[in-house]
Amino acid sequence: NREIHLASRPQGWPTADNFRLVETEVPTPGPGQIVVRNQFMSVDPYMRGRMNDVKSYVPPFQLGAPLDGGAVGEVVASEADGVKVGDTVLHGLGWREYALLDAKAARPVDPTIAPVSAYLSVLGMTGLTAYAGLLDVAGMKPGESVFVSAAAGSVGSLVGQIAKLKGAGHVVGSAGSAAKVERLKALGFDAAFDYHDGPVRDSLKAAAPDGIDVYFDNVGGDHLEAAISAMKLHGRAAICGMIAQYNDTQPPAAPRNLAMVIGKRLTLRGFLVGDHGNLREQFVRDVSGWLRDGKLTYDETIVDGIENAPEAFLGLLRGENLGKMLVRV
**Interacting residues with ligand NDP (CB under 6 A):** 44-46, 126, 129, 150, 152-156, 175-177, 180, 195, 218-219, 240-241, 243-244, 271-273, 316-317, 319, 321, 325
Q: Please give the radius of gyration of the chain, using alpha carbons only, rounded to the nearest integer.
A: 20
Compare residues 34 and 227 and give the one whose CB is closer to ligand NDP: 227
Compare residues 26 and 206 and give the one whose CB is closer to ligand NDP: 206
- Provide, rounded to whole angstroms, the least separation between the CB of residue 70 and ligand NDP: 10
Is there a contact between 239 and 270 (Cβ–Cβ < 8 Å)?
A: yes
* Cα–Cα distance, 79 to 252 (Å, whole number): 50
* Cα–Cα distance, 162 to 154 (Å, whole number): 12
What type of residue is 28? Answer: T
- Provide, rounded to whole angstroms, the least separation between the CB of residue 239 and ligand NDP: 8
- Provide, rounded to whole angstroms, the least separation between the CB of residue 301 and ligand NDP: 8
Compare residues 52 and 177 and give the one whose CB is closer to ligand NDP: 177
Helices 221-230 & 200-207 angle (0-180, nearest 10): 40
- Provide, rounded to whole angstroms, the least separation between the CB of residue 113 and ligand NDP: 22
Compare residues 73 and 176 and give the one whose CB is closer to ligand NDP: 176
- Provide, rounded to whole angstroms, the least separation between the CB of residue 322 and ligand NDP: 8
* Cα–Cα distance, 18 to 42 (Å, whole number): 18
Compare residues 177 and 229 and give the one whose CB is closer to ligand NDP: 177
With a CB cutoff of 8 Å and minimum separation 6, the contacts of 174 are: 147, 148, 149, 150, 151, 192, 193, 194, 195, 200, 203, 204, 219, 223
